[in-house]
Amino acid sequence: MPPTPPPRAADVPEPPAGIVEIERALTRVSHLLTRASLHDRAVAEAGVPVDRAAVPLLRVLAEAGEPLRPGELAARLAVEAPHVTRLVHRLEKAGYVERVPDPCDGRAHRVRLREAGRDAVDCICAVGRRWMAEALAGWSPEDRRSLAGLVGRMADDIAGVQPRATRRGSHSVGGIGFRERARRP
């Protein structure tokens, strides 16, 4: 059976008001924030020699505040488990994380952030936050709070409508794990 041809532009429904502009702006922001050159500058400025793929994993562990199973890390990062296994191995060799026994299952292990890992993620986040503060210096505090709330809400809503295969696909969405929050009305 021949493959189904892709839809024609005339067959694609018109999106609701503002969606095209939001999608364009987010695509641009995503591109700007995930460029390799930006990561290289951030880790150099922070003095932390970690690769780009490792930063989201370190952030998830820091935000969790407790050791996590590799499968939970994969789910939060929206990546496949083998990707997490490789990252954990590299980060363990570098001294940023360690595997510890799972108290609920003697056959399993969890990944714990070591002091060097916490220091690394804190330094990288500080650089990123300083850059963000510089970029938004002309914004009022109310505008920044409003943006933070709306972007957080949007991330939660997007995470909630993605098909399971996408949430656990081979890449993260913007390099950031999703935090569970109460659903807003």
Taking the whole predicted model, whether its pTM rises above 0.75 is answered as: no
Average pLDDT over residues 7-35: 85
Say if residue 97's pLDDT is above 70: yes
pLDDT of residue 6: 78
Average pLDDT over residues 84-89: 96
pLDDT of residue 82: 94
What does the DSSP assignment read for 21-80?
HHHHHHHHHHHHHH-HHHHHHHHHHHT----TTHHHHHHHHHHH-S-B-HHHHHHHHTS-
Mean of all residue pLDDT scores within the chain = 85
Average pLDDT over residues 174-183: 40
For residue 155, which of 123, 122, 184 has the smallest C-alpha distance?
184
Domain boundaries, the chain: 43-165
Say if residue 167's pLDDT is above 60: no
Say if residue 182's pLDDT is above 60: no
Say if residue 179's pLDDT is above 50: no
Handedness of CA 180, 163, 19, 29 (dihedral sign): positive
Say if residue 132's pLDDT is above 70: yes
Residue 169 — very low, low, confident or very high, per pLDDT cuts 50/70/90?
Answer: very low
Average pLDDT over residues 149-169: 74
Say if residue 181's pLDDT is above 60: no
Q: Which pLDDT tens digit goes with each residue over 42-83?
A: 889 899 989 888 999 999 999 999 999 999 999 999 899 999
For the domain made up of 43-165, the CATH class stated in words is mainly alpha
Say if residue 120's pLDDT is above 60: yes
Residue 163 — very low, low, confident or very high, per pLDDT cuts 50/70/90?
Answer: low
d(CA 14, CA 18): 11
